[in-house]
Amino acid sequence: MNFSDGDAVRLQTGGPVMTIQGAVGDLLLCSWMDENGRVIRQTYSPRQLQHSDHSHLLAVRALKRLARKWSVRATF
């Protein structure tokens, strides 16, 4: 499977939607935000990943975090 920087992916075994940040040798560097808003980065083999069609969830989560931080009301 071909992956590019910026692709939304997740592990084939499940887990959070992640964004590919780039390649590190034969591995792909992925990042995601945990429930506390911290950015987590980890490398994975491309064989462990699958494309995610849930990339819109990343935007929704980001808007909700911003709404909590800046006391803005977000309705979805």
Express each pLDDT in 43-75 by its tens digit: 999 999 999 876 566 666 676 777 677 665 555
Strand pairing report for 8-11 and 14-24: antiparallel
Q: Is residue 74 part of a domain?
A: no
Q: Is residue 57 part of a domain?
A: yes
Number of domains in the chain: 1
Can you give the residue range of the structural domain that contains 39? 8-69
Q: Is residue 75 part of a domain?
A: no
pTM > 0.75: no
Q: Is residue 76 part of a domain?
A: no
DSSP 41: E
Q: Is residue 21 part of a domain?
A: yes
CB 45 within 8 A of CB 26: yes
